[in-house]
A and B are shown apart, each in its own frame.
Chain A
């Protein structure tokens, strides 16, 4: 079956521009997570969605970051007015309740 997909795989943008990153989770997975992985670093939690509950946004680093999940499926992470420190690999994962996460291949964001 299809795994978690993310698009684009690579995104190069100029400082100050807005970007949108997309995640398509595994069908039927109720939980969806966004993480950020900087070069050589661990995973930094950003946000998660669980069913129809309010998302946990506690990991978003600033108000320039936002995310939505439409219809309990596809999610979009938006970064407004990008900064060079936003450069990283953004990973999406989905899971069933209390189960392991399945990760997408990530979007590599480069802010020039």
Chain B
């Protein structure tokens, strides 16, 4: 069965510092991996995805994520955090050989402190 784990409910980081939001996954085959962001009182917005190819993927707003197959991880990173990055971040996975169902993590609240 597919599963996604976001081990941290909340991550606090000072503005200007690098940030990492962790995600690990479990699928029976090879995964499609996604990150979404949810700002207060707004819907989810797509940030980036890994489908195939380069393990380092770059997305919106300066975010990037690295697919690590051996560690089954897809951590979200940004070199320099902004206060405006404060939001709820969701990792999602889909088994490319399986169904079209996406499984979302429980979310990590990122708080960037000025």
The chain A residues found within 8 Å of chain B, CB to CB, are 31, 33, 35, 41-43, 45, 48, 50, 56, 58-59, 91, 93, 97-98, 100-106
Q: Is the CB of B43 within 8 A of A45?
A: no
**Across the two chains, which residue of chain B brings its CB closest to A51?**
B100
**Across the two chains, which residue of chain B brings its CB closest to A44?**
B104
Q: Is the CB of B43 within 8 A of A104?
A: yes
A105/B42 contact (C-beta < 8 A), A41-B106, A45-B103, A98-B96 known: yes
B63 at the interface (CB under 8 A from A): no
B32 to chain A: which residues have CB within 8 Å? 98
Q: Is the CB of B90 within 8 A of A43?
A: yes
CA distance A59 to B104 in the complex (A): 13
Q: Is the CB of B43 within 8 A of A31?
A: no
Q: How far is the CB of B95 from chain A (nearest CB, A)?
A: 11
A33 to chain B: which residues have CB within 8 Å? 102
Interface residues of B in 80-114 (CB under 8 A from A): 90, 96, 99-107
CA distance A35 to B68 in the complex (A): 28
Q: Is the CB of B46 within 8 A of A106?
A: no
Q: Is the CB of B100 within 8 A of A48?
A: yes
Q: Is the CB of B90 within 8 A of A42?
A: yes
B44 at the interface (CB under 8 A from A): yes
